[in-house]
Amino acid sequence: MAGAPDEPVPGPAAGEQLLQQHVPRQVFPEPLAQAKPQQGFLFSFLTHNQKCQLMLLKTLETNPYVKLLLDAMKHSGCAINKDRHFSCEDCNGNVSGGFDASTSQIVLCQNNIHNQAHMNRVVTHELIHAFDHCRAHVDWFTNVRHLACSEVRAANLSGDCSLVNEIFRLRFGLKQHHQTCVRDRAILSILAVRNISKEVAQKAVDEVFESCFNDHEPFGRIPHSKTYAKYAHRDFQNRDRYYSNI
Ligand SMILES: [Zn+2]
């Protein structure tokens, strides 16, 4: 049951579907805690696609996680273009979004993303996959450990686990909760896109967990909140300036 202390990861992977078979679009469970609708009277008259485009624009312009990732992608020679690399589409099931490695395009599921906070998280999560795709030769199709590593990083760095993490840390003081959340989410994400057993997915995640959990690039730290993400962005810009001056 979602929200129970012994099972802190919200939303089972059940009901999620591949956006398209044989296309390595990564999907992940939709947290239930932030399902409040977007505010605004005029907003309610817009189509799903118009709402998706507006929320995406706001995310790209204001979210510190996303701004850092966009800078990092540019720095790595993979500059992101809003019209070229994002696509708002209707998706089957509970899928929130995906990264299509064959076209380097991020799909945003306009029928399933209903508020700005969710849009922020989906874009951040998928941009981490895009960043990994840019900086490393990720074998998404056949090497489950590569996929596992990127899912660990996306769950660790996107804020997917931060909200529940904060609540549980305050309530129960569980230091290991963040790691548990990241591990569980990575396994669910793999199972949502690969037809493999839970044991194989768990093994893949456990084999890569330590090194991939400790790989915080391009954040340099685990950004537990927007404030952390802002500091990380500032540090990245300073680092970037430093290296471009030597
Ligand atoms: Zn993912």
Question: Taking the model in full, what pTM does it have?
Answer: 0.80
**Residue 201's Cα: distance from chain center in Å?**
18
Residue found by looking up tokens 């306009």 in the block: 110
pLDDT of residue 13: 32
Establish if 55 belongs to a structural domain: yes
Establish if 11 belongs to a structural domain: no
- Strand (E) or helix (H) holding 108: strand 105-109
pLDDT of residue 160: 85
Structure tokens at 165: 């993490």
182 Cα–ligand 1 center, Å: 11
Establish if 1 belongs to a structural domain: no
> In this structure, are residues 147 and 155 in contact, taking their beta carbons and an 8 Å threshold?
no
Domain containing 70: what range?
42-224
Beta-carbon neighbours within 5 Å of ion ligand 1 = 26, 28, 151, 154, 189
> Could you tell me the sign of the dihedral formed by the alpha carbons of 187, 192, 194, 198, in that order?
positive
Distance CA 53, CA 69 (A): 19
pLDDT tens digits, the chain, 246 residues: what are they?
333 333 233 332 322 233 333 334 444 443 333 445 556 777 778 899 999 999 999 999 999 999 999 999 999 999 999 999 999 999 988 889 999 999 999 999 999 998 999 999 999 999 999 999 999 888 998 899 999 999 999 999 998 887 655 566 565 656 678 888 899 999 999 998 899 999 999 999 999 999 999 999 999 988 888 888 888 888 888 876 655 555
> In this structure, are residues 160 and 28 in contact, taking their beta carbons and an 8 Å threshold?
yes
Residue 107's DSSP bridge partners are 87, 98
3-class SS of residue 140: coil
Establish if 170 belongs to a structural domain: yes
173 Cα–ligand 1 center, Å: 27
pLDDT of residue 28: 41
Distance CA 38, CA 115 (A): 5
Number of domains in the chain: 1
245 Cα–ligand 1 center, Å: 35
Q: What positions carry a catalytic annotation?
A: 126
204 Cα–ligand 1 center, Å: 15
pLDDT of residue 6: 31
Establish if 133 belongs to a structural domain: yes
Establish if 4 belongs to a structural domain: no
Distance CA 195, CA 8 (A): 25
3-class SS of residue 97: strand
pLDDT of residue 244: 56
> In this structure, are residues 168 and 177 in contact, taking their beta carbons and an 8 Å threshold?
yes
- Strand (E) or helix (H) holding 88: strand 86-89
Establish if 28 belongs to a structural domain: no
Establish if 21 belongs to a structural domain: no
Residue 83's DSSP bridge partners are none
